Amino acid sequence: MSLVDKVKDAASPVIDMAGPVVIQALEKAGPLMDMALEKANPYLEQAMEVATPYVEVAREMTAPLLESTINKAGPIAEKISVTYGPIMDQAMEAAGPLVGKATEVARDFVEATVFAVDTATGGRFHDQITGVSQLVGQVLNRNGQQSA
């Protein structure tokens, strides 16, 4: 018996016993939550009324600073782009074939893993495993389409 099966067997009675208790707790907590919200609502409204002017002042104070920061950072970002853009292009060109090879290796690894897990579980989770492997395949393809 695998460890997963042992855990399932051990947890099953506890889960069965906890179900009704959880439902009962939710039934009792529901009205109490409603009462708490009802009593807290006026205080929440008061807090919003008091806080709103301060929030507006904070927005008015930070807007010029944010605009100034954007104005100062823009030319610097442009210089960085001009200076390091060609280097980034070269790096992307050099990395392209490596990424392609890594994708192929990852795809092969996923297929081998799917086969091993499917065999180990006796095909019990075949649909779920296939679904996950298809999602991984979509991620591995640059265009988001499943591989052949």
What does the block give as tokens for 62? 């930070």
Q: What is the pTM of this model?
A: 0.36
Domain ranges in the chain? 3-140
The answer to whether residues 37 and 30 touch, using CB atoms and an 8 Å cutoff, is no
Cα–Cα dist 114/120, whole Å: 10
Q: What does the pLDDT profile of the chain (148 residues) look like in tens digits? A: 777 677 767 767 766 766 777 777 777 777 888 888 788 888 888 888 888 888 888 888 888 888 888 888 888 888 888 888 888 888 888 887 877 777 777 778 778 888 888 788 888 888 888 888 787 777 777 544 444 4
Residue pLDDT, tens place only, 107-127:
787 788 888 887 888 888 888
